[in-house]
Structure 1
Amino acid sequence: MSSSDNKTYAVNILGAGVSGLSTGLALLEKGNYSVKIIATHLPSDLHIDYTSPWAGAHWRSFADIADLEQQELEEATYKRFEHLAETEPKAGIMFLTGHDYWDVKPKNFEEPWFSRFLKNYRHIPKEELPSGVDFGTTYTTVSINTPKYLRYLQDQILARGGIIEHGTVQSLRALAQVPHSDKHPKADIIVNCSGLGSRNLQGVNDHQMFPTRGQILIVKVPDEIWPKAKQFTMERYAEGSAFGVGTVTYVIPRDNGEIILGGTTDHWDYQEAPSEKTAKAIMQRVQDCRPDLFSKATVLRNCVGLRPNRRGGVRVSATAEQLDWNEGWNPSVLVVAHNYGHAGFGYQASIGCANKTAKCIERSLKNLQTLRDEARTMAKL
């Protein structure tokens, strides 16, 4: 909305993962929104259904060379992460050197779109490649200590007057009916950021959503190796593809001395217990690639999370609509927004998608008052 619009809009957001928290913060930064986040799991929780704490995560784009919109979302996110890495230690974001390895060089290889703005992008000479790797690139990127970053987002929201509370709702209607605040009893806007929960959330029931199980190891290396290991992040593609086909091995250090090793991509697998066989295979692949860094790694935790995959890609949208016809005309006319379906790449586009959600909401608000006026007229008939 324009700066001349003095109305404050009440927003109820479902979900406190990176998408929900980023969306809440994006709205609060605009200044004319009151934000309340309702979530079954909060940043201090660890649960298989709460995906965000389990993510790696380093910034490495998989956007197609022709997908300009996705590129814009991910570049905006990187620029914010870059700023936080330079200025805000509490965010848990740090610079490091990214490496992409292919056992077989992809046919018709094209330079990735992000090579134009990531610093120090270059092809890796053959003599610098690990054994068994045919081709590689390197560049400066960032990693995100995900539990720390979630707490940072939570703190930023609370500092701006936002509300975050534990709760479970089963439908969009129930989300709209959650009391917002004493000053704003009813929400003007509801935002669904429930990730995999969108499959069974009444009023959404998005059956394009499906889980992709990922298993990781969290390890520590000896103190004398850490200064070198903390600068090394990688993804290695066994079948010459960077798009999730075949075995992918990755290494992602965090600013607290932990290192994430992965991983697996198991569609429609809800198994919560980690596999020891898989853990040994991950460790072996990493050690084979960089024995100098990981031959003496100690496993701290063996973890599993469910990525919120969606056929057709991410859903980011907003509409002004009559949510529940049984409730009467005016009470349930509001803006309904969505930001979910990010699969295993939620962090690298999180800021861009949150800002896009906010823009979609602002466009829909222009229709909200018109619909409410029409609803009042119909209610009198």
Structure 2
Amino acid sequence: MNIVVVGGGLAGAHAVQELREQGYPGDITLLGEERHLPYERPPLSKGLLLGTEEVQSIFVHDQEWYADQQVDLRVGTSVTALDLDRGRVHVGDHPIAYDRLLLATGAEPRRLPILDALEVPVLCLRTLDDATALKSHLAGRVLIVGAGWIGLEVAAAARRAGADVTVLDTAALPLLAVLGVELAALFADLHREHGVDLRLETSVVEADGSTVTLSDGTRLNPDVVVAGIGATPRDTLAARAGLATGNGVLVDARLRTLDPHVYAAGDVANHDHPTLGRLRVEHWDNAIEQGKHAARAMLGDDQPYDRLPYFFTDQYDLGMEYVGHVGPDGYDEVVVRGDRERRILTAFWVRNDRVVAGMHLNDWDAMDSIRQVVGSPRSQAQETTARP
């Protein structure tokens, strides 16, 4: 059997690793569009920007590992088409046959066309090359459009580098859609305390030359602009091949598409979660674990992927981990235990008397107990406390 993996990110790298660890002896081809070996993405907005991690430390494996594991790794390789009827992946005019195919093509950052007329650099942060380019501009006057996780992490790194940082967002608070009013305000306060000019319910209305005009009338002259307004799944290849798509490649609980020989994992996978329903998750943990699960599924494992979404962030002296999923139905209340002033706390989002998500701030020993509480009755959240 020949397995081809399209996408050289975390999901793809961990899929091929799992295939070998499960004893799969057949051919494996891993096709990555970037010119780099597969690497970890969290350091791009954290350690690499801060200068606390070296580039070589972020790669999942070195070149020798792929050779030793007899993985045919091809970087800088773009797949141009899928032939599902014949079981072929096309790289230009060159077809590669597969018996099982994993799509791990990831996502790409959204762009703001209004910024196209600017003469100063307008950057996103998705790839290693993006991080390298941004690091070289991480001083002076930095304008960040979008107060999501990436935007805030870049803001923290830029402030530590001594930059003058302005962050814009159209929402009333940063991370409002994820955290709700109760906890989003903590992140607004955190960044303002560290000198960020945080402008909420504000957008760009004009950008020309080196000047950006905001909806509140302010005119800024940044040295660099960072667009952090989310990402869209790279599902065009799948759609053109006739696979079902819609905010990603649609897969069942096992991560299989409608074609029984084709699977999807990571940022591109719109997964039918056994308990949470359809969702697409763009986080480090999900890419790793779905990649592993897809590998086992391609080898015949029938177990559904039921892991809860997890993510983390580091901003200044604040660390956070979050597990669960509030979903489109929202929540009824947030149960918070701990010290808001010192930002050492646990929080649980509750809907219909059940805990649907949990988080800690600066309490790294709390994650195991938080995982146990998510999915439990509300009373369990009341009994969980943050360390003093």
TM-score when scaled to structure 1?
Answer: 0.36
From the two aligned structures, give the one with the greater helix fraction.
Answer: 1
Larger RCO: Structure 1 or Structure 2 (Cα < 8 Å, ≥ 6 residues apart)?
Answer: 1
- TM-score (normalizing by structure 2): 0.36
